[in-house]
């Protein structure tokens, strides 16, 4: 057991649920959050079977009061995984302002507020780790991903700032930028795709999270670019 506590956003399904199970295996006690209580309860059960303590706390990450309440309930944490996010995929000329704003609200602003609350307690305890799940879309431009891509670029910008602000407080901050991962998000966005076997799997992202958590405090990795070997280089 690590005696460490991790808060994972977007833990009700997909990459977040897989990260939760992986961190439970590593011995982390968990605070799992998302909006869907019943899906969170399923993930909670799976993680508890691995012998760790798991608290579920629902929150809509577009709400500052709900985020503040979540972190009050969580108390001191050693690790924040900012994973929650969603996309609406349109070209710039077809993007509605309300869709743009909804995406920035959760993917950028929600992640910022979680980092703010986490870093406040991590500064008090002189240490911690934050892992932001950005995307290849946070590094490169893709058609029909204007709002989503901007939000993921914002998360990279936040990560860079937090790396600097966290350094002297023993707070290590990382981004992971995966290419396409076989989850419901992709299945919903690309109903035409039928074969997901060649894609990155949620487990691959969870393994990258576990690796970052294993780093000694005197070294760090700013960003992991995780891509299918068949895709062009990311950076």
d(CA 102, CA 99): 5
Cα–Cα distance list, 37 to 11, 56, 64, 167, 173 (Å): 10, 8, 19, 35, 28
Which of 28, 142, 148, 211 is labelled catalytic? Answer: 148
- Shortest distance, position 86 Cβ to ligand NAP, whole Å: 5
| Shorter beta-carbon distance to ligand NAP: residue 77 or 176 | 176
Whose Cβ is closer to ligand NAP: residue 39's or residue 116's?
A: 39
DSSP bridge partners of 54: 30
Which residues make Cβ contacts (< 8 Å) with residue 90, sequence separation at least 6? 96, 99, 144, 146, 147
Where do contacts with ligand NAP occur on this chain (CB under 6 A)? Answer: 10, 12-16, 34-36, 39, 60-62, 83-86, 106, 133, 135, 178, 180-181, 183-186
Nearer to ligand NAP, 218 or 233 (CB): 233
Q: How far is the CB of 216 from ligand NAP (least distance, A)?
A: 27
Residue 55 or residue 169: which is nearer to ligand NAP going by CB? 55
d(CA 144, CA 174): 27
28 catalytically annotated: no
Q: What is the CA radius of gyration of the chain?
A: 17
Q: Tell the smallest beta-carbon distance from residue 217 to ligand NAP (Å).
A: 26
Q: Give buried/exposed letters for 184-195 (b at 16+ CB in 10 A, else e).
A: ebbeebeeeeee
Output the smallest distance, CB 136 to ligand NAP, in A.
7
Positions marked catalytic? 148
């Amino acid at each position: 057991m690590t005696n460490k506590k991790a808060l994972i956003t977007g833990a009700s399904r997909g990459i977040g649920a897989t990260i939760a199970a992986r961190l439970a295996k590593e011995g982390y006690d968990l605070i799992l959050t998302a909006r869907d209580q019943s899906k969170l309860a399923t993930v909670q059960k799976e993680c508890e079977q691995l012998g760790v303590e798991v608290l579920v706390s629902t929150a809509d990450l577009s709400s500052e009061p709900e985020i503040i309440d979540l972190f009050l309930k969580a108390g001191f944490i050693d690790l924040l995984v900012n994973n929650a996010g969603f996309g609406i995929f349109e070209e710039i000329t077809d993007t509605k302002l309300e869709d743009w704003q909804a995406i920035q609200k959760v993917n950028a602003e929600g992640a910022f507020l979680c980092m703010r609350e986490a870093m406040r307690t991590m500064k008090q305890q002189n240490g911690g780790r934050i892992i932001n799940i950005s995307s290849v879309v946070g590094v490169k431009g893709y058609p029909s991903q204007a709002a989503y891509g901007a939000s993921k670029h914002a998360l990279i910008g936040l990560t860079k700032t937090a790396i600097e602000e966290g350094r002297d407080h023993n707070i290590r901050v990382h981004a992971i930028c995966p290419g396409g991962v076989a989850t419901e998000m992709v299945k919903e966005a690309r109903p035409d795709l039928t074969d997901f076997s060649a894609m990155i799997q949620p487990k691959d992202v969870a393994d990258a999270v576990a690796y970052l958590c294993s780093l000694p405090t005197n070294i760090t990795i700013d960003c992991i670019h995780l891509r299918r070997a068949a895709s062009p280089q990311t950076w």
